[in-house]
Every structure is written in C-alpha cells, then in structure tokens.
Amino acid sequence: MAQPQDRPPTQLYLITPPVGEASDFAPLLREALEAGEAACVLLDLVAGDDQSAKKLIKDYAAIVQPTGAALLVSGWSAVVARGGADGIHIVDGHTGLKDALQSFKPERIVGAGNVRTKHDAMQIAESGADYVMLGEPSRDGRVPPLQATIERTGWWAELFEVPCVAYAPDLGAVTLLADCGADFVALGPAVWNHEQGPAAAMRLVHDLLKQRASTS
C-alpha cells in the first residue's frame, strides 16, 4: 500500500486553454515555464485537420520540451507521435484508453482523465495507464467540488501506486491536494488568468510548495 509520505514531492502539471492555429497563447506558456518548473504540459489542441494539429504539436514541443517538461496532447492520437509529443491524455473512456495503451506504450506516456466513479478509477489503475487525473473540469466546464477531489485523491493515494494528478481550481487548493497525496497538481485558468500574470502565479505556487516541504 502506497502512503502519501512515501511519494516524491508534488510536481506541477499545466493544462493549456484550447489552443488553435490563430492562438496567441505561446508567449503566456513561455512566461510560465520560465518562472517555474512544470513536470508536464497538457495541450488542449483545436485544429481543423491532422496536418494543422501536427504543426501545432511541433510548435509547442519546441517550447515545452527544452524546459525538461513532457508535452502531452489531449486526444489527436493520429498525430501525437508524428508531432513529437511525449504522450497522450485520454478522456473518452475505457475503449479509447485501451487503444492508446496498445498504440503508444511503452514509448510514450498514456494518462487517463474524466474519471467519475471509484469503479472507473480502479479499472484505470489496473489498465497500465501512467497516471490518472482526478477533479478536472467536465466537457461543459463544470469543476467538481474541491472537497470531493480531496477525498478522492486521498483514497487513491492510500490504495494505488499509479501516480495521481489532482486538478486545482485555484492556487489555494495546491497545498491541500499535495497534503492528501497528489503526485501532481494540475493547474489551468488559475495560472493563465492570474491577475498578475502566469509568471507570478507560478512563482507563488512554487513558494507554497517549498513552504509545505520545509514544514513537513
């Protein structure tokens, strides 16, 4: 049984907003990654066709990978490898996850999200996925109550060795999720929409995690 205290320090996992060909998001991502370390960046890709998607993946890989972070793509399995991404994030259920595991493992990371029940989570734990994400926004943008994510993350950390990514709706939730055993804390709008900018948000999050580490 894996206990939270046995796990390595919590790392950051950034989720981009929807990014398309006309997006001006790249400077914000550079700003964030220059200000603080992230283990992964999940690209929420919006493109008209595979060729456009492949180009966008290459463009963002050039920003993300030199920092030491892994670039993951939400969906777009046909071009994840050709674009040079490090892995794929699956949100369309067990069939999609099974197909991704067969296609991408062991060369690339395969993660799973859109987990709505403990039964779903347990199936993912047994599937061979590299991580599970808990508490992220649903397709309509709604975010589960933070307390529910905290409870689910703590439950996961006590039972499973597969890493857990817990979604933080705001910066104040980062240490709460780290304390209950999250291996990674996922941040999206809390960084990109921070009133002082993404760099300030990243510095603040790293300060919070350092303070937590020094008092644990």
Q: Is the pLDDT of residue 3 over 80?
A: no
Tokens standing for residue 1: 């049984």
Residue range 115-161, pLDDT digits in tens: 888 888 888 889 999 999 999 998 777 899 999 999 999 999 999 99
pLDDT at 6 (0 to 100): 54
Q: What's the whole-model pTM score?
A: 0.93
Dihedral angle, C-alpha 22, 69, 131, 142, nearest 10 °: -40
Find the mean pLDDT for residues 149-174.
Answer: 96
Q: Which stretches does DSSP call E strand in the chain?
A: 11-15, 40-43, 70-74, 87-90, 109-112, 131-134, 164-167, 184-187
Question: What CATH superfamily is the domain 4-215?
Answer: Aldolase class I (3.20.20.70)
pLDDT at 74 (0 to 100): 94
Q: What is the C-alpha separation between 113 and 90, in angstroms, rounded?
A: 6
Q: Are strands 164-167 and 40-43 parallel, antiparallel or unpaired?
A: unpaired
Percent of the chain with pLDDT over 90: 78
Q: What is the C-alpha separation between 35 and 46, in angstroms, rounded?
A: 26
